Homo-oligomer: A and B are copies of this chain.
Amino acid sequence: MAVYTHLSADDLSSLIAHYDVGELVSAKGIAEGVSNSNWLIETTGSDAARKNGGGARYILTMYEFRIEMRDLPFFLGLLDLLADKGCPVPRTIHDRDGASWRKIGDKAVALIEFLPGVSIDRPQPEQARSVGKALAEIHLAAADYDSRRNEMGLASWQELTDQCGPEGLAQIDPALPAIVKDALAYLTANWPAGLPQGVCHADLFPDNVLMLGDRVSGLIDFYFACTDFFAYDLAVTHAAWCFADHGRTFRPEISTALMAGYESVRPLSEAERAALPILARGAAMRFIATRAYDWLNTPADALVTRKDPMDFARRLQFYAEQGAKAFAGV
């Protein structure tokens, strides 16, 4: 959660000059993003906006780690498609040559629409219902997105935890090596096939949702978006929203509202519903894997706070114990 790169006012003005957004008025590095640096930029606005007396705000994102430039067209094109379909996602601002991203030095940057709203720490049911609806809406809206990627599937969970090794996992928690081994064996043997799939956000945590009251004003940070089962994306969102106290407390009223919101737009098939428990165990495993890897590979002086993999080991256990009851409604 930091700004990793210093951009001078001259750097920013030079960049902005490539876009029809007017002149630079303000730029503040913002404390968001783990793999990116982000600035909240204000300009005098496009020629059109300026005639109406309006300025404009944007998020400037610099891709620092993890994201491959070859994936940027997938992410940024997806934002444009979803915005065109009326989903509350930030539009990519294209430069005067039509490009959705540029480079500063050897790093890629994109200028993205600023959306209002704040992230909610402890959601209320009406907010979870809105999030469920918004998730289903992007699933439907992106149905004909013809670009594909998925690098965060089961194979990657195995690979990341292999790289940690049993000793590394045991450093985090003595129980973790066995939890991971059993979970991966179960998931590999039982992972479903043939479910409806398409573009998934795959990381829809509360801090990636902007809200105004009960309304979703923005879905952001699509940098884990991928092609996968829709129901897996719902399971990820369920794991991300329906627990408190670091995975210790399940919030059934949030689960019920999230599921109802989703199904009000895109009802689940019987096969999807039956698969939810294992998909949720997979979702928990996915965050155990990346958090464990980051836990062991984040330098002590890094600018980010490490997240505890055990928060998701608790969820994994909950989903294994509860099965379909976790999604049954209150």
Contacts and interface: CB of A to CB of B under 8 A. Distances in A.
Nearest to A118: B9
Which of under 10, 10 to 19, 20 to 34, or 35 or more describes the interface residues of A?
20 to 34
Contacts of A270: none
Nearest to A31: B29
Interface string A198-221: 000000000000111000000000
Chain A interface mostly: mixed
B301 A300 contact: yes
A67 interface: no
A10 B303 contact: no
A228 interface: no
Interface stretch (A20-28, A136-144, A183-191, A288-296): A20-28
A12 interface: yes
B27 A30 contact: no
A146 interface: no
B9 A28 contact: no
Interface in A33-59: 40, 42
Contacts of A212: 25
A146 B266 CA distance: 66
A268 interface: no
Contact of A31 (B28, B116, B211): B28
A119 interface: yes
A73 interface: no
A42 B12 CA distance: 22
B30 A116 contact: no
A2 interface: yes
Contact of A300 (B118, B122, B210, B300): B300
A2 B303 contact: yes
